[in-house]
Structure 1
Amino acid sequence: MTMKISPAADAASPLRDALGAEHRPAVGEVRIVSLVPSLTELVCELGLADRLVGRTGFCVHPRDVLKTVPKVGGTKDVKMDVLRGLAPTHLIVNIDENRRETVEELATFVPNVIVTHPCAPADNLALYRLFGGVFHCADRAARLAADLGAALAEAQAVARALPREDVLYLIWREPWMSVARDTYISATLAAVGWDTLPADAGARYPEIDWQAAWMAGVSRVFLSSEPYRFRERHLAEVAALSGRSAAMIDGEMASWYGSRAAAGLRYLAGLRSALAEAT
C-alpha cells in the first residue's frame, strides 16, 4: 500500500494548511492516515488510495476501496498505538472534527500533519491545490477545481433565480439541534439561496427552542440524514413542532467538503429548484 515518489520542483507559491504551516511536496515513501471522512474520499479521488494506510471508522467512501484500509478508531477517539504502528508519513486532520490534544500528541511521531478547515464550498479550491502539490497529483486536483468552479456558478444561478429563504436545518433530535451560520453546512446552503436560522447563535451547533422569536422567520425545515439519522417518520413530528413544511435532505451532500463539494452544490441546487416548483 505504499509507493516511492521522486523529488519534484517546488510549487510557484507556498503550500500552506489551515494553520498557515507550510508543506513541501512529498519525497520518498508516502503513507497517509486520514482522520477526516470527506478528505479520505478526496484522497481516493486524487488517485492516492494506494498510499492510504489508515482511516477512521467513519471514513466509508468509497466503500469498495476502503474495505482493506485499517481503521484507527474514530475522529475523536483515535487508537494511538494502532496509528503509530502504521508508521504514517502524513496525517490529515480537521479543526472541527478532530481534538486538538489528540492531534498534538500525534504530531510527536507523525512527520507531516496537514490541518484543514474549509468553511465554505470555495475553500475547497485551496484544499485541492494543497493536496495536489503535496502529493504530486496537481492535474487531478485541477480537474476537481474546474468542476467545482462550474458547480459554484450553477448554484449562484439558482440563488439569483429564486427569492432567498430562511431555513432551519436540523442535525439532532432530543435535544433538537441546528447549525450556526459560521459552519460549512450553512455556507453551502447559502450558496443556493437558503440562509440558516438562527442568524445569531452562541454555539456552532445550537439547541433549538421551538418557541424562540426567530422561528417566525423560518420558511422551511430540513431534516438531515446525518449525524442523526432522521427518517420520513420524523417529518410529521417536526412539522407539528415548527408549524412549517419539513423535508428530508442528504446530510453528506450538504456537509461533506473535499471531492464531494461540486456534487453537493448540484444536489442542493436541484433540490431548491424542485421544492420551488412544488410550492
Structure 2
Amino acid sequence: MKQFIDQIGTSHSFETSPKRIVSLVPSQTELLYDLGLEENIVGITKFCVHPYHFKSTKKIVGGTKNVHYDRIRLLEPDIIICNKEENTQEIVAELRKICSVWVTNIATIEDNFQMITDFGQIFDRRTEARKWNDKLAFALSDFKNFIAAIPVKKVAYFIWKKPYMVAGSGTFIDELLKLNHFQNHFASKERYPEIELEKMEEEGNLDLVLLSSEPFPFKAEDGYEIARSTENAKAILVDGEMFSWHGSRLLKAFDYFKYLHGSI
C-alpha cells in the first residue's frame, strides 16, 4: 500500500497505481495526456479542450462547477482529479462517495512543479514527470533572463464582465503577472474581486488593461469601454490559457509571454 498527500493535505492510499482517471480540470487533463496517460483517462469536462481529439474519444461528465455524478460513477474510476479553485468543496465531498479524489492547489510555480511530481509518483510516470519539470525549469530560467531588462508596468487583469471581475492576490494569474514584471493594480485584494470601472481612475494610473479570453471571452470593443475609465492605459486582449492554466501548458506560456512583450 502506497500513501500520498495531496495539495490540500488529504492522505490517499493506493495498492497499485490508479488505472482509470476522471479529470475535472482542463489544464490537468492536458498534463495527464502529456505524461503519457491518454489510455487511462476515461472522463473529462466539456472544457477539456486539449488535446482536441479528447472531445470525441473521452466521456464528457459535465463542467467544472456542474458535474454528472451518475456518469462518473458508471465510468468506475480509481481516482478523480480536482482543483481547489476549479471545483467546489461540495463537488469534492460528493465525489468522495465514488472513489479517491485528488485535489490540487496551484498558486505558485513551485506548486506547479510539485503537482507534476505528485502525478509522476501516483501514476508511475516518474521519468516523464521529471522530464517535464526539467523542461519547465530551463524555460523558466530562460524567461527570467529575458524579462530582467524589461521595466515594470502597472496592469489590471480582467476575467469577467457583468459584473466586472479582476485577478487579485493569491492566484496563479497574479503569480504569472509578477513573473512578467506586471504590477497587479488589484494585488491588495484577494482572489477575484468585483470592481467598479468608475473608481479605477480614482485609484491611480494604469499602463495596461489585460482582457482575458477566458473564462469571459472579451472582445476589442470591451477594451474601449474599460480604457475610458483610465487615463492612459492601453487595453489588449490576452490568451487566458497562458495566464491561468497550470501544468504542462506553462511551457508554451513562456514563448507566448515573449511574443506578448514584443507586441506591447
TM-score by length of 2: 0.92
Change (3 A) 1:65 1:109: closer
- Pairing 1:208–2:195 present: yes
Match of 1:257 in 2: 246
Match of 1:49 in 2: 38
- Pairing 1:144–2:123 present: no
Partners of 2:18 and 2:79 within 8 A in 1: no
Change (3 A) 1:187 1:268: same
Aligned partner of 2:204: which letter? A
Match of 2:75 in 1: 86
Give the alignment partner of residue 168 of structure 2, picking from 174, 180, 198: 180
CA distance in 1 between counterparts of 2:170 and 2:202 reads 18
Query: 5+ unaligned residues in a row in structure 2: which ranges?
Result: none
Match of 1:37 in 2: 26
CA-to-partner distance for each residue in 1:77-130, whole Å, 9 max, x for gaps? 1111111111100110001111111111111221x2211011022321111110
1:151-230 residue pairs with structure 2 within 5 A?
Answer: 151-201=139-189, 203-210=190-197, 211-212=199-200, 215-230=203-218
After superposition, the CA RMSD in angstroms is 2.0
Aligned partner of 1:204: which letter? R
CA distance in 1 between counterparts of 2:176 and 2:160 reads 19
- How many Å apart are 1:57 and its aligned residue? 1.0
Which is worse superposed, 260-269 or 175-184?
260-269
Identity of aligned residues (%): 36
Aligned partner of 2:129: which letter? A
TM-score by length of 1: 0.87
Query: 5+ unaligned residues in a row in structure 1: which ranges?
Result: 1-6
CA distance in 1 between counterparts of 2:14 and 2:148 reads 40
Match of 1:4 in 2: none
Change (3 A) 1:265 1:181: farther
Match of 2:48 in 1: 59
Match of 1:242 in 2: 230
Partners of 1:35 and 1:92 within 8 A in 2: yes
Number of residue pairs the alignment of both structures matches: 262
CA distance in 2 between counterparts of 1:207 and 1:89 reads 38
